[in-house]
């Protein structure tokens, strides 16, 4: 078996190689060539399958995969017939998945199934929103610096948010498909309740916000509020009962690699990149694309709520409720909207390399 410490480098450098390959291929294309695209769905399926099987079979107790060990302990308790889940958190679907699987499957098989679903929902979203350039879209998704973590550590949150991505694809393309989107939303919340935040942002963006500028204004106000009254807002959100984990994270004395609290300018700068790109496309150049504006507003609203609790411990966990959309908000306009015309491929290539470069930097210097 491969040692746990090698999993991240193998995954990361494979994604980097693929990203350089596709960035080079697309760099000379104008928008019309990108729009026609290359249907590489079969290869995208192959890549997703290989990665899911690889990460699903990870050595759980190597000390490299965070909460995987805790999930494994819970899984074995189910296997021994203990009533682990008491219904208090409302996340019944995840509990049902674990309890049913524990009767006949070992923990590695269960983790592999979770990763197959995680990659599968992500790939399905790419196919729906970027059908002519699926592999490029997939590389943006799996090349995001938070993607690997939620494949091997916060797997429940990762799976739930991948379902939310699919919900977004059904709510943005043409008339909202509520028949599919609503059940999927319920499933996502039944796996991880915190997905109520991005789902609420999505439904507000679809049915109430007509222009991105309103979401952008709210985001700016959230920064000002956080600077002036961030501690107060953190306590307010903790008292709403949105999730008991918020109380623990905002008021408890807990730490991880992001444990330095205060206003996180580094996180904010990272978060604002898709918003600035959206402002450039939608506001400055007046390019309208309904699906993009809904996606952009959903990300911006979700990120605004995180900004208001940015001082909390485990701030990255709140940030992920918008960051899981980050690569999709970046890649959608690059592959679907004529922003730069003859230079579209060059700009797309540059953003691809900057995107994976940031992931490499974060993993090399901060993990």
Q: Report pLDDT for 257.
A: 44
CA-nearest of 145, 143, 158 to 111 is: 158
Domain that holds residue 72: 4-366
Query: How many structural domains compose the chain?
Result: 1
Cα distances (angstroms) measured from residue 131 to each of 122, 137, 188, 332, 336: 13, 9, 24, 11, 10
Q: Maximum distance among all alpha carbons in the chain?
A: 62
Residue 262 or residue 202, greater confidence: 202
Judge if pTM exceeds 0.85: yes
Give residue-wise pLDDT tens across range 108-153.
Answer: 999 999 999 999 999 999 999 999 999 999 999 999 999 999 999 9
Q: Tell me the pLDDT tens digit for each residue of 313-332.
A: 666 678 889 999 999 999 99
* pLDDT recorded at residue 98: 94
User: What are 89's two structure tokens?
Assistant: 């958190």
Higher-confidence residue of 30 and 63: namely 30
Q: How confident is the model at residue 9 (pLDDT cuts 50, 70, 90)?
A: very high
Tens digits of residue pLDDT in 42-93: 999 999 999 999 999 999 988 899 899 999 999 999 988 887 765 445 689 9
pLDDT at residue 204 tops 70: yes
* Coil vs helix vs strand at 199: helix
Give the span between the Cα atoms of 365 and 367, in whole angstroms.
6
Contact between 165 and 37 under an 8 Å Cβ cutoff? The reply is no
At 247 the pLDDT is: 54
What is the structure's pLDDT at 338?
A: 96
Would the pLDDT of 220 be above 60? yes
């Amino acid at each position: 078996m491969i040692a746990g410490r090698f999993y991240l480098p193998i995954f990361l450098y494979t994604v980097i190689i693929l990203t350089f390959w596709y960035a080079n291929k697309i760099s000379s294309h104008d928008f019309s060539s990108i729009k026609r695209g290359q249907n590489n769905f079969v290869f995208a399926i192959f890549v997703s399958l290989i990665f899911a099987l690889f990460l699903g079979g990870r050595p759980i107790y190597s000390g490299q995969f965070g909460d995987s060990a805790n999930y494994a302990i819970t899984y074995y308790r189910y296997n021994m017939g203990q009533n682990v889940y008491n219904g208090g958190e409302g996340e019944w679907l995840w509990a049902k998945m674990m309890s049913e699987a524990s009767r006949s499957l070992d923990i590695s098989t269960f983790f592999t199934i979770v990763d197959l679903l995680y990659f599968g929902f992500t790939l399905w979203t790419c196919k729906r929103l970027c059908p002519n350039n699926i592999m490029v879209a997939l590389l943006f998704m799996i090349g995001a610096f938070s993607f690997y973590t939620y494949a091997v550590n916060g797997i429940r949150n990762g799976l739930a948010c991948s379902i939310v991505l699919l919900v977004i694809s059904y709510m943005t393309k043409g008339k909202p498909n509520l028949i599919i989107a609503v059940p999927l939303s319920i499933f996502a919340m039944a796996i991880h309740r915190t997905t109520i935040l991005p789902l609420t942002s999505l439904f507000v963006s679809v049915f109430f916000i007509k222009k991105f500028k309103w979401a952008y204004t709210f985001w700016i106000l959230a920064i000002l509020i956080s600077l002036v009254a961030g501690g107060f807002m953190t306590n307010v959100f903790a008292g709403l009962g949105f999730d008991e984990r918020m109380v623990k994270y905002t008021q408890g004395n807990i730490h991880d690699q992001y444990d330095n609290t205060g206003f996180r300018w580094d996180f904010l700068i990272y978060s604002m990149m898709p918003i600035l790109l959206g402002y450039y496309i939608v506001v400055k150049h007046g390019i309208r694309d309904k699906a993009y504006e809904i996606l952009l507003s959903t990300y911006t609203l979700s990120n605004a709520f995180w900004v208001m609790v940015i001082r909390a411990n485990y701030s990255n966990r709140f940030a992920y409720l918008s960051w899981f959309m980050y690569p999709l908000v970046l890649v959608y306009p690059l592959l679907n909207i004529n922003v730069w015309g003859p230079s579209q491929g060059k700009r797309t290539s540059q953003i691809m390399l900057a995107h994976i470069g940031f992931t490499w930097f974060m993993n090399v210097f901060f993990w």
